[in-house]
Amino acid sequence: MAKVLVPLADGCEELEAVTIVDLLRRGGIEVVTAGLKPGIVRASRGVQLVPDVTLEVALRDDYDMVVLPGGMPGASHLKDDARIIDLLQKMAAAGKYTAAICAAPMVLAEAGVLDGKRATSYPGALDGLPGVTVVATAVVQDGKVLTSRGPGTAMDFALALVETLTGADNRRRVEAALVRP
């Protein structure tokens, strides 16, 4: 079974965080949510999220993918955390998946993961960054890096993550149960 880490920072976009965790779990993927610090994470709209573990504890395990929810200032908190940058660099060096949505692709850029890649983000989040080809589509996959635009693309993004980790048949199964048009 694939194992995914979803770091949660105060000010993250709750719609993205919850959609990612929910759909990955529906797809039979083990998901660990990790707070940057102990305790409840207060998301950007005031929703309180209870991480499974702290990031310190989560970093003791190995993962097939790390997915960063966006939102502000959540994405900035992720970008400013040296442990997150180190983890992303190690994941990329090991040929594992990294993914981010909304403003969080700037964290991938900070870690050097987007160098020479195509990516998308919330409008403006990647502006002016050298070495990144920014495209305005809902979800972009370039090798082992997946990015998405924002809250409105969270379901498409999460389904793309399910497909990447478990295949198109499982994605179709998960999507059919959601009764999407």
Among 29, 84, 102, 103, the one annotated catalytic: 102
Kindly provide the b/e burial profile for residues 135-170, where b requires at least 16 CB atoms within 10 angstroms of the residue's own CB.
Answer: eeebbbbbebbbbbbbbebbbbbbbbbbbbbbeeeb
Is position 102 annotated as part of the catalytic site?
A: yes
Please identify which residue in the block is written with the tokens 């990612």: 20
Beta bridge partners of 119: 134
Token pair in block for residue 41? 């994470």
The answer to whether residues 66 and 89 touch, using CB atoms and an 8 Å cutoff, is no
Nearest to 107 by CA among 128, 88, 120, 93: 88
Give catalytic residue positions.
Answer: 102
